[in-house]
Amino acid sequence: MSNKPYISDSKESFKNFSEQSSPYESLRLLLDNLSKEQKRNQELLASISYVLRSFTNLDRFLEFIPVVVSRLVGVKGTLLIPFHIDGTVSIEQIQMVPLNYSESLINEILNFPLGHERGFGSDPNRLKELDKLIQSFILNSPFFVTSVVARGKERGRLYVFDLNSPFVFSNIHRRNVQLVADLVGVAIEYDLLFQQIKYYESVERQVSIGGEIQSQLLPDHCPVIKGVELAAHCRPAFQVGGDYYDFMPTKPELTGKAKEGGRWALVVGDVMGKGIPACLLMTMLRGMLRAEVLTGLPPDRILHDLNQLALDDLSQSHRFVTLFYSDFDPESRKLRFANAAHNPPLLWRSKQKEIIRLDSLGLLIGLESEAEYVCGEVLLDYGDVILYYTDGVTEAMGLTGERFNEKRLIALLDESARKFSKSQEILDNLFYRLDRFVGINHHLEDDASMVVLKVQNQ
């Protein structure tokens, strides 16, 4: 399509013909010209509608607008000034005909300080200053301006003028220009929605990838360990987190009953942060930790060495890891443990019917190079229950805005341990009560992971 505006010559044709024709013929010519002009305008508006239905590039669509408006109204000047979503002038999207005037005017707009301020497009007083700037550039030429609006927000300004002739804008001209401005508003809003869809699709892909990584980190089943029952589950949040738990034999070369009766490491942790980066860091920690377990060192030395190994990678990512590491000897029923600032597991004593916290001093993994950790130990009795968990459980928010908190978790563990005899039953009840607290149709803010270990009765 040519960039040269269409200038209607119907008046001149009618004048020349009327000097040589009867009144009847003059009237017929006038009606024919009006019919042709109406048909042409309909075709121009239809062309905009067609492009709007099929466009995939907003910039190309905006290039098309000034040319169509010039032909639609029959003037030689049209200027379209779109606004960014924050209300500032979108210099790179300004479109104008005739082209030989556009560069100098765009430079004027570029140097217009108000146009670079956030919220400019929503301030009527500042918009009037822009209108004055445009009017001063076209001097005394006929001038008409309308807003480009979508969903009640100013998305731009559309100016129509004629630089070289006295032109009178009729109501029909104004309605046609406003119709085009409304279509431009629809196009800009459509593009914004399209960009949002692309963004959310990207986020969804990241969440999906992160979910796959996280699912591969977590064991797909609990191992068989002599004298205890295990149950574990991670309830993922809307956003992928960095929750991690694992069960590792300290002597993986053993098989069968020897492996079941050997010492096992039980660990639960959480990388601060969410998304794929947290999952990747936990993948790295998992590999390092599994290598450390093979050394057979006590829990405090395991965490010390793990901190030394992971410090550089964690400090560069500005993330830290909480980790509770324990190992269990089925023969003596002794549990040794060390804590790197993780939520202390809860131990329900079957004889005393009371709950204690398994905690020991220790800093986050990745915080300080010389961090030291303390090894604690406890002798488990028949029927005892240990609950390992991440902060996504206690920090879960209920319908009233209250947190689930540790106090509530302790009460529910006591209730569940008294009521149910199987570790899986205890775990299921805890998650059931957590879901009721959060609300069935509400997402968790963070992953919630729980591991239940119950010492079998004699």
Reported as a single tens digit per residue, the pLDDT across 377-399 is 999 999 999 999 999 999 999 98
Q: How does DSSP classify residue 116?
A: G
3-state helix vs strand vs coil in the chain, percent to 5 = 45, 20, 30
3-class DSSP state of 378:
strand
**163, 141 Cβ separation under 8 angstroms:** yes
Span 356-382, average pLDDT: 94
Cα distance between residue 109 and residue 106, in whole Å: 5
Reported as a single tens digit per residue, the pLDDT across 72-97 is 888 888 899 999 989 999 988 999 88
DSSP string, 273-293: S-HHHHHHHHHHHHHHHHHHH
Amino acid found at 81:
I
Output 203 or 177, whichever has higher pLDDT. 177
Residue 28 has what pLDDT?
55
Q: Quick check: 223 pLDDT over 60?
A: yes
Q: Which residue has the tokens 């009237």?
A: 27
Task: Write phi, then psi, for 383 (nearest 5 degrees).
Answer: 90, -10
Q: Quick check: 6 pLDDT over 50?
A: no
Kindly state the percentage of the chain with pLDDT values over 90. 45
Q: Give every CB contact of residue 432 below 8 A, 6+ residues apart in sequence.
A: none
Cα distance between residue 342 and residue 264, in whole Å: 20
Task: Write phi, then psi, for 168 (nearest 5 degrees).
Answer: -110, 120
Q: Quick check: 69 pLDDT over 60?
A: yes
Span 270-274, average pLDDT: 78
> Which domains are seen in the chain, by residue range?
10-196 (3.30.450.40), 218-455 (3.60.40.10)
Residue 11 has what pLDDT?
46
358 pLDDT tier (thresholds 50, 70, 90): very high
Reported as a single tens digit per residue, the pLDDT across 292-339 is 999 999 999 999 999 999 888 787 777 889 999 999 999 999 999 999
Amino acid found at 170:
S
Kindly state the percentage of the chain with pLDDT values over 70. 80
Span 367-375, average pLDDT: 92
Residue 103 has what pLDDT?
76
Angle 136-142-148 from CA coordinates, rounded to 5°: 80
Burial 422-443 (b: 16+ CB within 10 A, else e): ebbbbbbbbeebbeebbeeeee
Quote the mean pLDDT of the chain: 83
| Strand arrangement of the beta sheet that strand 143-150 belongs to | 95-97, 77-82, 153-161, 143-150
Residue 188 has what pLDDT?
86
Q: Quick check: 1 pLDDT over 50?
A: no
Span 408-434, average pLDDT: 96
141 pLDDT tier (thresholds 50, 70, 90): confident
172, 113, 174, 163: which is closest to 135 by C-alpha? 163
7 pLDDT tier (thresholds 50, 70, 90): very low
Cα distance between residue 374 and residue 53, in whole Å: 68
Q: Quick check: 202 pLDDT over 80?
A: no
247 pLDDT tier (thresholds 50, 70, 90): very high
Region of poorest pLDDT, from 27-41, 228-242, 346-360: 27-41
Residue 322 has what pLDDT?
94
Q: Quick check: 136 pLDDT over 50?
A: yes
**409, 346 Cβ separation under 8 angstroms:** yes
Q: Give every CB contact of residue 194 below 8 A, 6+ residues apart in sequence.
A: none
Contacts 24+ apart (CB under 8 A), 427-430: 427/231, 427/232, 427/233, 427/452, 428/231, 430/387
3-state secondary structure 200-231: HHHHHHHHHHHHHHHHHHCCCCCCCCCCEEEE
Span 126-141, average pLDDT: 85
Contacts 24+ apart (CB under 8 A), 311-318: 311/366, 311/369, 313/281, 313/284, 313/366, 314/281, 314/365, 314/366, 315/366, 317/277, 317/281
